[in-house]
Amino acid sequence: MDEATMNHPAPNRIDLQHRVRRHAAERGAAVFVVMLVITLLTALGIFAVRSSSLSTMASGFNRQLTQTHYVADYAVVSVVGDLGLNAQVHSTMMASGANDQCVGYTQMLASNGQPTCTQLGYNDLNKIVKANNPQNQLLQPPGGVYPVSVVPGSLGPAPLEGDMRVEVTDWHPAWPPLPGNDAVTNKLGYAMVTVSATGLVRPKQLVANQWDTASASAAGVESGRAHVVLGPVLMNN
């Protein structure tokens, strides 16, 4: 037996088993640490993706909210502008009582009142715009085939559509009288009306020009109201 063998005797079976168990325990701890790191990184990745998705959704909802606000405001401005140009036409239509689709029409008849109302939709307002310039539209739709070669419309490149519903109601003589006008007149004078407008922005529907807020869960709806002095108009029409 040489000197190296005498200084380093061969390990016995018990020592070998102890070393094997210790290395196995070390390998198990390393696998656990690796799995823990992978799980942590996966959770961080999922959180980042979810946070980015929520931010994008919030930005989209805020965009639609802004669009809906301006569509509703646009409806009020459009009707008020036409009231200034065609005051007598609207006054006569309101007094005729022919439009029975206005809100409160039935209640007015039941209380022996005379409903004064005219109702305008998107198509009616669009006709008014086209009457002044046939090439214009109230809201310009996007051009091309989405999402390729899109020319952005009034609501951007997405296939969205805006709709409007406006009611002009509550015709009554303006009070106090406008400066320079008689307090009581049976001929020409000024009246006050209420303009109630509802604007809607939603994904493009299969049935065009259909007023239906329940058909699209992503629809944005906003209402606005204005009191407008109308005239000069015939006070006894």
Q: Over the stretch 167-206, which tens digit does the pLDDT of each residue have?
A: 898 888 887 777 777 666 567 888 899 999 999 888 877 6
Task: Assess contact for 222 and 68: CB atoms under 8 A.
Answer: yes
Q: Domain for residue 57, yes or no?
A: yes
Task: Give me the number of domains the chain comprises.
Answer: 1
- Residue-wise pLDDT for 99-133, tens only, equals 667 776 666 665 556 677 888 889 889 998 888 78
Which of the four pLDDT bands, split at 50, 70 and 90, describes residue 219?
confident
In a domain? residue 153: yes
CA-to-CA distance for 28 and 20, rounded, in angstroms? 12
Residue 155 maps to a domain: yes
Its domain, for residue 94, covers 44-234
In a domain? residue 7: no
Q: Is 144 helix (H, G, I), strand (E, B) or coil?
A: strand
Does 191 map to a domain?
A: yes
- Is 30 part of a structural domain of the chain? no
Residue 27 inside a domain? The answer is no
Is residue 199, in this structure, part of any structural domain at all?
Answer: yes
Q: Annotate 126-145 with b (16+ C-beta within 10 A) or e (fewer).
A: bebbeeeeeeeebbeebeee
Q: In what order do the strands lie in the sheet containing 160-173?
A: 117-121, 160-173, 188-203, 220-234
